[in-house]
Amino acid sequence: MKQVWAAILIWLAISVTSALAVTPAEQLRDPALEARARVISKGLRCVVCQNQSIDDSNASLAADMRVLVRQRILAGDTNTQVTQYMVDRYGNFVLLRPPVKRNTYALWFGPLGFIGFGALIFWLTARRRKNPKIAPAGTENPDEKQRIDELLEQYRK
Amino acid sequence: MKFRLSALIPLLIFSFIGLALAIGLRNDPRAMPSTMIDRDMPAFTLQAVSDDLPLLQHSDLLGKISLLNVFGSWCTACLHEHPTLMRLSRQNRIAIYGVDWRDTPSAGANWLRVNGNPYAAVGLDSQSHLAIDLGVTGAPETYLIDPKGRIRFKQIGPITEQVWRDTIEPMVRLLEAEQ
Amino acid sequence: MAAEVGNIALIIALLLALIQIVAPLVGAGLSNLRLMHLSGFTAIGQLLFITIAFLALSVAFIGSDFSVALVARHSHSLKPLLYKISGVWGNHEGSMLLWVLILSLYGAMVPIFGRALPIRLKSLALSIQGMIGAGFLGFILFTSNPFLRLFPIPLDGNGLNPLLQDPGLAFHPPFLYLGYVGFSMAFSFSVAALIDGKVDALWAKWLRPWVLAAWSFLTIGIALGSVWAYYELGWGGWWFWDPVENASLLPWLAGTALLHSTLVVERRYALVNWTVLLGILTFSLSLIGTFLVRSGVITSVHAFASDPERGVYILGMLLVLSGGALLLYALRSSKLRIGNGFEVLSRESGLAINNILLVCATAVVFLGTFYPLLVDIFSNDKISVGPPFFNLYFGYIMGALIIFMGIAPMLKWRHDSAKRMIRPVLLLVGATLFVAILVSLFGKSVLGGLGIGLAFWLFGGTLMNWAAKVRLGRISFTRSVALARTLPAGIYGFVLAHIGLAVCVVGVTGMGLWSSEQILMMQPGQQTRLGGYAIQLDQVTHETGKNYSAEIANFTLLKKDKTAAQLRSERRFYPVRGMQTTEAGIHVRPGHNLYVAVGEGAPDRGWAVRIYYHPFVSWIWLGALLMALGGFVALADRRLRLPSAQRNTGLANKAVSSPVSGAAT
């Protein structure tokens, strides 16, 4: 088993290292089209390197995907069509920004829930703290602190 | 004894996370559900690796059960599965075709000369055209294709003897039974 | 020889840890002082023996002893000495050894510095510390033993991954572990307090320095990792939201919350239950991070060679330690004395909001990191959660946090009047709006105005707070200066750390909104312009380093036709691993960096060159450094000193275990 893992790691390592991200040779002449290509590439995940966009990745597969993105643009595809082209082949996995759909509701709306829950807790706590019957306003008393300090001082000696 | 129900919340959340992690441990994060399963093999044109090796055509993959193996001379994990592919090929167990991915013809041909050639036909995909159409993420990857030219299964990582015995051969048997 | 010594030392350390688990529990049950005191000796003993083991492994690495399998796999005789040393922890087994070394270091601090602590609390906490130690020592001995021998002995080793052969990264793991292992103290003492059924100001006073230290180390560790990614990965990214990075950010965020909540417990004896819970949570997140990096549950570029067997072990440990602690919390937290109340408009309330926001940020990062795993398990889909998700929610929450940070520290403890706050807040709002509008106009970016505005808000608010503390303008200047000198170190820690965050925000904003780049083929002699510089490729040469060969591109940077700097960028090839890395050439200025990275090329077609202009990017790490510095400065605060040594468990404990309260600061 260990050997297989080692082999897979080597396989990953090799596919990860080669050229730099976006190279001059790949770039489109038309700056407007190139800008579109960059925007699309930044949203597509390099499938061999985990959580890196193909725009940032040095992997050779990412380089080929960048070229393909540019070919699709030259062929007249819209941004959505290019992205869809990749999703057709690699699934939603290839999107760095997961689509909002049933299995991602918890992801996209969860954080709002956290904030709401936090606000609720604060409100409940603040209300409870105001009610002296449930929690006494505290035993703070400067004299008491002084007394303790004196006591501590005594033990120090 | 005083007991606050709310004090249980952290434990409950943690239990859920712990459970998810435990199930997650049994998952292989690299196993990608292929979008290509049960879809037709895409059309492709590949370059020849060498003049004396038959060039892989789309029509090769029709009419019989076959394995399409993505490899490359740069791929060390491919060496790991090579003995198994060689054995299957020698025993004529199943037709095996090769896609030499992101390689140069000379390096690919040399690799096959040194390590042996299990493939009935090979093609070179130097710019990942076929690889991206297949949703390949790394080498080696192997596709099981039925006689109608549909992709039925995708193996990510090397086909060791164990993988062949436990995973792929049973599926081949199933396909054979379908005929 | 060294390997055997190391192995035996580890086994002895494990035995000591086992004694340390049992003795205090039995001792506390029987009220046997001697048994309880035993835990102090075992803690120091563990440190001693783990140090021996660690030195033994270091000897094997430095001496290139390839009969040790780990050395053969991860070192090479030609490697520079620094990387032979850092190679000790540049792999799974060695880094786990560093992990337990640091754990035992913290553990040994308890008997050394905690003389004033009640013996019950101290020994119970050491028992928990012993459980963590025994767990991880067992993990090392049974699943990841660094001392296994190899036969036949290879002539040379495999070498260290070249990406890791870097001074910045050499020190990244030690700092990181000093950070998140340090939170084990919070965990142990929280659990001990739950067993003991008692939390008091002394408890918080004792805990705070350890949380501060751990937090500061973690801050440096994370910053080092980020700097490394910036110059080594060749395109100038500094944060990827990669699962492994998130694994270190999670305990940092929770630890930041803990840092503030222990303050509330210490000064006001409020948020008591919450702080205990947070102490458990923070270290649990460290454990989850360790699990994440080493189990292979989630793939990451940075992950160590992962092995499901190790994953099962760490998960088991996580379930026992964190699950046990949370169960204890569910059963026993109601025993703790209920905390003091506070008004909505008070320092406590501000810190409570800080905690809620930080925990929300933790939850968001956690959700984003683990969501792909959940989708994988519960549906037949596979998704990625990338920067767009994290940037969105994390950005909003941090924005809200900074808004609170600007004014909340001005609030008084217990209760404050809105009327008193109106003047300073209006002043701050006015100044911030002015800055934000100015930046929006000149930077041609509303978002930029927002980002810099937030940074200014935090900076201004923090300074105003300090000014109020020294009564600047109310009393004569010389008296203000005199007052400034007598302010407790904690206040300067707060000022530094909060300003550090403001500095960091400037960096993030500048990098995110105003950076620019050029990607082109260049021939020697050719020039291009970016960010007010002319960049010229002078020549491309070849060089051979100790364990690599390199193609070196030399650049001249011109500003207004004068040479501003000479830069070199390298593409290195490491034959032992067959890997290539890029070393970027970076011209670092206070306000911006110019970043040059050379790619593939040949004399006939020229070289691919990527040039970036990164405004304020260094401020990100400068800010992190200020934050860490703030943490260390606060450590010097005299108010954190425990009352001097006392051995008896009689009256003195009774006196300090009642909440110490009063008008602090």
Q: Which residues from chain A sit within 8 angstroms of residue C299, using beta carbons?
A: 50
Q: What is the structure's pLDDT at C237?
A: 81
Residue A135 CB coordination number (10 Å): 17
**H/E run at residue C543:** strand C533-544
Residue A120 and residue A80 share a domain: no
Other CB atoms within 10 Å distance of the CB of residue A78: 12
pLDDT of residue C250: 96
Residue C59 has a CB neighbour count (10 Å cut-off) of 17
By C-alpha distance, which of C246, C37, C199, C9 is closest to C104? Answer: C9
pLDDT reading at C105 higher than 90: yes
Which range among C68-72, C170-174, C258-262 has the greatest average pLDDT? C258-262
Summarize pLDDT for C597-625 with one digit per residue, the tens: 888 888 888 888 989 999 999 999 999 99
* pLDDT value of position A58: 76
Residues A55 and A128 in one domain: no
First CA to last CA distance, chain A: 65
Q: Would you place residue C363 in the very low, low, confident or very high pLDDT band (cuts 50, 70, 90)?
A: very high
Same-domain status, A59 and A113: no
Please report which confidence band the pLDDT of residue C79 belongs to, taking 50, 70 and 90 as the band edges: confident
Q: Are residues A51 and A87 in the same domain?
A: yes
Highest-pLDDT range among A4-8, C209-213, C577-581: C209-213
pLDDT of res. C449: 93
Q: What is the pLDDT of residues C374-426, one digit of tens each?
A: 888 888 788 889 999 999 999 999 999 999 999 999 998 888 888 888 989 99
Better-predicted residue by pLDDT, A66 or A12: A66
Q: Find the mean pLDDT for residues C577-593.
A: 85
Residues A87 and A15 placed together within one structural domain of the fold: yes
Q: In this complex, is the C-beta atom of C93 within 8 Å of any C-beta atom belonging to chain A?
A: no
**H or E element that contains C521:** strand C516-522
Q: Is residue A112 domain-shared with residue A62, that is, in the same domain?
A: no
Is residue A101 in a domain? no
Can you list the residues of chain B whose pLDDT is less than 50?
A: 1
Residues 10-69 (B) with a CB less than 8 A from some CB of A: 30, 32-36
Treating both helix axes as pointing N-terminal to C-terminal, what angle do C418-443 and C387-407 enclose, rounded to 10 degrees? 140
Which one of A94, A128, A144 terminates a domain? A94
Q: What is the pLDDT of residue C187?
A: 97
Residue C657: predicted pLDDT: 37
Give mean pLDDT, residues C276-287. 95
Percent of chain C's residues with pLDDT above 70: 94
Measured CA to CA, the distance from residue C581 to residue C568 in angstroms comes to: 14
The residue-averaged pLDDT of C35-61 equals: 94
Chain C residue nearest residue B6, CA to CA: C330
- The number of domains in chain A is 2
The predicted structure's pLDDT at residue B23: 85
Residue A134 neighbours by CB distance under 10 Å = 11
Residue type, B11: L
- pLDDT score, position B178: 80
Per CB-CB distance under 8 Å, the chain A contacts of C390 are none
The per-residue pLDDT for B6 is 82
Q: Which residues in chain C touch residue B2, judged by CB atoms under 8 angstroms apart? A: 334-335
**C298 with B14: Cβ contact below 8 A:** no
Q: What sign does the dihedral C389-C393-C396-C397 (CA atoms) show?
A: negative
Mean pLDDT of chain C: 88
Q: Is residue A133 part of a domain?
A: yes
- If asked whether residues A83 and A115 sit together in one domain, one would say no
Helix orientation angle between C272-295 and C172-180, rounded to the nearest 10 degrees = 140
- Residue bearing the bigger pLDDT, C206 or C660: C206
| Residue numbers of the domain that contains A9 | 2-94
Residue C639 has pLDDT above 90, yes or no: no
Over residues C560-573, mean pLDDT: 89
Binning pLDDT at 50, 70 and 90, where does residue C652 land? very low
pLDDT at C462: 95
pLDDT for position C497: 97
Residue A39 lies in a domain: yes
Q: What is the pLDDT of residue C247?
A: 92
C186 vs A59: which has the higher pLDDT: C186
C146-195 pLDDT, tens digit each: 999 888 888 788 777 777 777 777 889 899 999 989 999 999 999 999 99
Residues A77 and A40 placed together within one structural domain of the fold = yes
**A139 shares its domain with A86:** no
Residue C646 has pLDDT above 90, yes or no: no
Q: Please list every residue in chain A whose beta carbon sits closer than 8 Å to the beta carbon of residue B74.
A: 14
Contact between A14 and B135 using a beta-carbon 8 Å cutoff:
no
Is A135 found in the same domain as A81? no
C453-482 as b/e: b if 16+ CB within 10 A: bbbbbbbbbbbbbbeebbebeeeeeeebee
- Pick from C360, C370, C579, C656 the residue to mutate for testing the A interface (most A CBs within 10 Å): C360
Token output for C284 = 């649990």
Distance CA C305, CA B84 (A): 25
Q: What CATH number does the domain containing A17 carry?
A: 1.10.8.640
User: How is residue C506 written in tokens?
Assistant: 């400037």
What are the two backbone dihedrals, phi and then psi, of residue C279, each rounded to the nearest 5 degrees? Answer: -60, -40
- pLDDT band at C660; cut points 50, 70, 90: very low
| Cβ atoms C338, C198 nearer than 8 A | no
Same-domain pairing of A25 and A65? yes
Out of B33, B36, B132, the one facing A65 most closely (by C-beta) is B132
* Residue A3, pLDDT above cutoff 70: no
Alpha carbon of C326: minimum distance to chain B alpha carbons (Å)? 5
Q: Beta-carbon neighbour count of residue C55 at 10 Å?
A: 16
Q: Domain segments of chain B: what residues?
A: 35-178
CB-closest option in C281, C311, C330 to B8: C330
Q: Is C64 touching A (CB cutoff 8 A)?
A: no
Q: Which of C237, C364, C578 sits opposite A114 (nearest CB)?
A: C364
The residues, ordered by sequence, that sit 6+ positions from C455 with a Cβ below 8 Å of its Cβ are C402, C502, C503, C505, C506, C509
pLDDT-based confidence at residue C81 (cuts at 50, 70, 90): confident
Which CATH architecture fits B35-178?
3-Layer(aba) Sandwich (3.40)
pLDDT in tens, C430-487: 999 999 999 999 988 899 999 999 999 999 999 999 999 888 888 888 888 888 888 9
Residue of A nearest to B163 (CA): A4
What's the CA gap between B87 and B102, in Å, rounded?
25
Which pLDDT band holds residue C90 (cuts at 50, 70, 90)? confident
Query: Which residue from A minimizes the CA distance to C600?
Result: A19
Query: What does the pLDDT read at residue C641?
Result: 80
Residues A6, A69, single domain; the answer is yes
Residue C196 has pLDDT above 60, yes or no: yes
Mean predicted confidence (pLDDT) in C525-533:
91
In a domain, A100, yes or no: no
- Please give the average per-residue pLDDT across C557-571, as a whole number: 90
Give the pair of three-digit tokens for residue C268.
């006001």
pLDDT of residue A130: 55
C296 has pLDDT over 70? no
Residues of A with CB below 8 A from C521's CB? 24-25
Helical pair B9-26 and C324-332, crossing angle rounded to 10 deg: 160
Check whether A12 has a pLDDT greater than 50.
Answer: no
Flag whether pLDDT at C287 surpasses 50: yes
pLDDT of residue A16: 38
Alpha-carbon gap, residue C342 to A136, rounded angstroms: 10
Residue C654's pLDDT is 39
**Cβ within 8 Å, pair C329-B10:** yes
pLDDT confidence bin for A137, thresholds 50/70/90: very low
Residue where one domain finishes, among candidates A68, A94, A120: A94
Asked if residue A23 belongs to a domain, the reply is: yes
Question: A93-112: b or e for each residue (b if 16 or more CB lie within 10 Å)?
Answer: bbbbbbeeeebbeebbebbe
